[in-house]
Chain A
Amino acid sequence: KAGVTQTPRYLIKTRGQQVTLSCSPISGHRSVSWYQQTPGQGLQFLFEYFSETQRNKGNFPGRFSGRQFSNSRSEMNVSTLELGDSALYLCASSLFDRVVYNEQFFGPGTRLTVL
Chain B
Amino acid sequence: KQEVTQIPAALSVPEGENLVLNCSFTDSAIYNLQWFRQDPGKGLTSLLLIQSSQREQTSGRLNASLDKSSGRSTLYIAASQPGDSATYLCAVMWNDYKLSFGAGTTVTVRA
Nearest chain B residue, comparing its CB with the CB of A96: B97
Given A98-B97, A103-B49, also A42-B103 (CB < 8 A): yes
- The answer to whether A48 has its CB under 8 Å from any CB of chain B is yes
Residues of B contacting A102 in the complex (Cβ-Cβ under 8 angstroms): 49
> Given B36, B45, B97, B100, which contacts A55 in the complex, CB threshold below 8 Å?
B97
Near A by CB (< 8 A), chain B positions 88-111 give 89, 91, 96-104
Count residues on chain A whose CB falls below 8 Å from chain B CBs: 25
C-beta contact mask, A29-66 vs B, less than 8 Å → 1, else 0?
00001010000001111001000000110100000000
Q: Is B46 an interface residue (CB 8 A)?
A: yes
B101 A42 Cβ-Cβ under 8 A: yes
Q: Which of A14-22, A72-80, A104-112 contacts B (4 or more CB under 8 A)?
A: A104-112
What are 5 sample pairs from A and B whose C-beta atoms fall under 8 A apart?
Answer: A42-B101, A43-B101, A88-B41, A102-B49, A103-B34
Among residues of A, the one whose C-beta sits closest to the C-beta of B6 is A42
Closest to A91 in B: B43
Report Cα–Cα, A99/B109, bound state, in Å. 39
Give chain A's interface residues, CB within 8 Å of chain B: 4, 33, 35, 42-45, 48, 55-56, 58, 88, 90, 92, 98, 101-109, 111
- Once the chains are docked, how many angstroms separate the CA of A107 from the CA of B45? 9
B102: A residues at CB distance < 8 A: 42
Q: How many residues of B contact A (CB 8 A)?
A: 23
Interface positions of B (Cβ within 8 A of A): 31-32, 34, 36, 41-46, 49, 51, 89, 91, 96-104
- The answer for the CA separation of A44 and B91 in the assembled complex, in Å, is 11
Partner pick for B43 among A48, A55, A108, CB 8 A cutoff? A108
Query: In the complex the two chains form, is A48's CB within 8 Å of B41's CB?
Result: no
Contacts of A4 in B (CB 8 A): 43
B99, A33: Cβ atoms closer than 8 Å:
yes
With both chains docked as a complex, state the minimum distance between the C-beta of A100 and any C-beta of chain B, in angstroms: 11
Contact between B42 and A108, CB atoms less than 8 A apart: yes
Q: Do A104 and B46 form a contact, CB below 8 Å, given A42-B103, A42-B104, A111-B41?
A: yes
